[in-house]
Amino acid sequence: MLSKAKTQWAMHQLYKLIPDAQGALVADSPFQLLIAVMLSAQATDVSVNKVTPQLFADFPTPASFANAEIADIEADIHSIGLYHNKAKHIKTCCQQLMADFGGEVPRTHAELEQLAGVGRKTANVVLGDAFNVPSFAVDTHVTRIAKRLKISAQDASVIQIEKDFQAKLPKKTWVQAHHTLILFGRRVCTARKPHCDECPLLRICQAGQQFLEDRG
C-alpha cells in the first residue's frame, strides 16, 4: 500500500495540477446543496445544475417539497436519471426535515443518514461543503484513483477507502482532497484511456506504468 508520506506527496502534486478545486453543484444554502447532491446520484453535476433553478423556484423550502405532489417534483427533474425514485426520496426527506429537525438540515452523519435518500457520500458532501465539517466523500473517481495508486486495497469498500484517506491525509485537507481527486479523475485518471503520459503521479503508479506499457 502507498505510504502516508507518499500519499501526501501525491496530493501536493495534484493541488499544483488542479488548484482550488471545488464542487460543481450550484446551491445557495445547505438545504439546496442537500437536494442537489441527492439528485446527482448516477447523474452529472451539469445535468443537475440545469434543473435545480426551476426546481428551487417551484419548491423553495423543505415545507414546499414536503407538501408537494410527487408528480410535480418529477416534472422538474424528469431529465435526470432515476427521477421517480429521487422525487419520492426528496419529498420524504423534506417531510423528515420538517417533522424531526425544524426544517433545518442536520449537521451530523448520524442525523443526515436518517434522511430518505441520503447515504454516507451525500452526508459527507453536505457536511464538508455546507458546514465546513472535515469529511471525505468517496465516489467512483476517488475509488478508482485509490486503487490504482494503491492507497487502498483492490477489494476495499467505500468505507475503507474513506478511512484510508483520512488516516493518510491531514484532517484540514479532507474536503479539498476530495474535490481535487474528483477533478483529477474526470480530467486525467479517467476510467477508460487514462492520460497516464500527462500524469504527475506516474512514477509512483504501477497501474499507469502498465497502461503505457500495454499501449506500446
Quick one: 206 exposed, middle or buried, by C-beta within 10 A (0-12, 13-18, 19+)? Answer: exposed
Of 115, 39, 103, residue with least CA distance to 65: 103
The pLDDT assigned to 173 comes to: 98
Alpha helices, DSSP H only, in 59-108? 62-66, 70-77, 83-100
Which residue in 86, 91, 121, 168 is the catalytic one?
Answer: 121
What would the pLDDT profile of 147-163 be if each residue is shown by its tens digit? 999 999 999 999 999 99
Phi/psi for 198 (5° steps) reads: -105, 0
pLDDT higher than 90, residue 216: no
- Taking the domain 30-131, which CATH number applies? 1.10.340.30
Domain boundaries along the sequence of the chain: 4-21+137-215, 30-131
First to last CA, the chain: 27
Q: What is the pTM of this model?
A: 0.95
Q: How confident is the model at residue 139 (pLDDT cuts 50, 70, 90)?
A: very high
Establish whether 121 is a catalytic residue. Answer: yes
The pLDDT assigned to 129 comes to: 98
The pLDDT assigned to 212 comes to: 94
Which residue in 45, 58, 139, 150 is the catalytic one?
Answer: 139
Q: Work out the average pLDDT over 177-193.
A: 97
> How many angstroms separate the CA atoms of 83 and 70, rounded?
10
Q: Work out the average pLDDT over 7-26.
A: 97
pLDDT higher than 80, residue 94: yes
Q: Which residues contact 137 (CB under 8 A, 6 or more apart)?
A: 120, 121, 124, 125, 128, 162, 178
| Residue 113: other Cβ atoms inside 10 A | 13
What would the pLDDT profile of 99-124 be if each residue is shown by its tens digit? 999 999 999 999 999 999 999 999 99
- Taking the domain 4-21+137-215, which CATH number applies? 1.10.1670.10
